[in-house]
Amino acid sequence: MPDGAVRRLAAAARGARAVRQLVANLLYDAGRYRRWSSLARAELSREQLSALVTLNYHRIEKGLALPAPRPGFGADAVRTLITLLDQQLRRFGADDAARSGIATLAEYQAFNRGHGIAHAEVDAALARFATLGAAPPADEPCGGTRAVERAAVLATLPTDPEAFFGSRHSVRHFSGEPVGLDLVERAVRMAQRTPSVCNRQPWKAYAFTDPEQRRRLLSFQNGNRGFGDGAAQLLVVTADLQHFTSVGERYQGWIDGGLFAMSLVHALHALGLGACMLNWSVTRETDAAMRAAAGIPDSELVIMMVAVGHLPERLRVAFSARKPLSDVLVVR
> Each residue of 153-182: pLDDT tens digit?
999 999 999 999 999 999 999 999 999 999
Phi, psi of 237 (to 5 degrees): -95, 130
Q: What is the largest CA-CA distance in the chain?
A: 87
CA 267 from chain center: how many Å?
15
Mean pLDDT, range 205-229, rounded to an integer: 96
Burial class (CB in 10 A: 0-12, 13-18, 19+), 302: buried
Stretch among 37-51, 225-239, 254-268 having the lowest mean pLDDT: 37-51
pLDDT of residue 138 exceeding 70? no
**The predicted structure's pLDDT at residue 15:** 81
**The predicted structure's pLDDT at residue 1:** 67
The mean predicted confidence, pLDDT, of the chain is: 94
Q: Which CATH superfamily is domain 159-310 in?
A: NADH Oxidase (3.40.109.10)
**The predicted structure's pLDDT at residue 133:** 73
**The predicted structure's pLDDT at residue 137:** 65
Phi, psi of 278 (to 5 degrees): -115, 110
CA 155 from chain center: how many Å?
27
pLDDT of residue 248 exceeding 70? yes
**The predicted structure's pLDDT at residue 113:** 96
Q: What one-character-per-residue DSSP string does 20-51 give?
A: HHHHHHHHHHHHHHHHHSSTT-SS--HHHHHH
Q: What is the pLDDT of residues 107-134, one digit of tens each?
A: 999 999 999 998 999 999 999 998 887 7
**The predicted structure's pLDDT at residue 215:** 96
Q: What is the pLDDT of residues 48-88, one digit of tens each?
A: 999 999 999 999 999 999 999 999 999 999 999 999 999 99
E-state strands within the chain: 203-208, 233-240, 273-279, 300-310
Query: CA 35, 33, 218: angle at the middle one, nearest 5?
Result: 110
Contact in structure between 76 and 61 (CB atoms under 8 Å): no
Burial class (CB in 10 A: 0-12, 13-18, 19+), 97: buried
- Contacts (Cβ under 8 Å, ≥6 apart) of 102: 85, 126, 129, 134, 135, 136, 143
